[in-house]
Each structure stands twice: as structure tokens, then as C-alpha cells.
Amino acid sequence: MLSTDQIQKIVSTVERETSNDGCYVQPIHDPRQTHALYGINKNSYTSVKVVLKRLGAKYFRKVTANSKSLIIVCFNAEDIKI
């Protein structure tokens, strides 16, 4: 399980490198993914995925939110070392 400090570092890295201000991470209960990143622009999915992969995340899933322009990116954070 990620600590609050690790989650803040993930969010700040994603915001800085992909221009997705206002995103946040929450733990989820899923057999494959452990966390979800909310408030991501649809056009930024690929760049967000690259940043998360570099941090150690794996098993990505894109979920369409009730917004026309935002998505949720679910991922497994077990191997993230920040």
C-alpha cells in the first residue's frame, strides 16, 4: 500500500510532466489494479501511462468518467518505488 507521501509524489510528477492539474489518486478494490488516478484529460492518457510506467506502475486500464473530456486511469502500484 502506498503512503500518503508516495501518492503526493505520484500526483505531482503526473501534474508536472503531463499538464493535468487537479488530478488525484485513490486506492481501489480490484484484483488487478490497486489505485486509480482521477481527473486526467482524454488526450493525455498515453503520456500519463508513460510517466506511471517509469515510476513502476503496471496493468493499466482506462475508464471513461461522466465527463466528455476526463478519464480515470487505473493501475497496479505494487512496484512503485518513490
Q: pLDDT tens, 7-38?
A: 999 999 999 999 999 999 999 999 999 999 99
Name the β-bridge partners of 76.
Answer: 58
Whether residue 69 lies inside any domain: the answer is: yes
**Taking the model in full, what pTM does it have?**
0.94
Number of domains observed in the structure of the chain: 1
Whether residue 81 lies inside any domain: the answer is: no
Whether residue 52 lies inside any domain: the answer is: yes
Residues in CB range of 60: below 8 A, 6 or more apart: 33, 49, 52, 73, 74, 75
Whether residue 12 lies inside any domain: the answer is: yes
Reported as a single tens digit per residue, the pLDDT across 70-79 is 999 999 999 9
Q: Which range of residues forms the domain containing residue 18? A: 4-76
Whether residue 82 lies inside any domain: the answer is: no
Whether residue 47 lies inside any domain: the answer is: yes
Residue 41 has pLDDT above 90, yes or no: yes
* pLDDT at res. 22: 93
Amino acid at 57: A
φ, ψ for residue 44 (rounded to 5)?
-100, 5
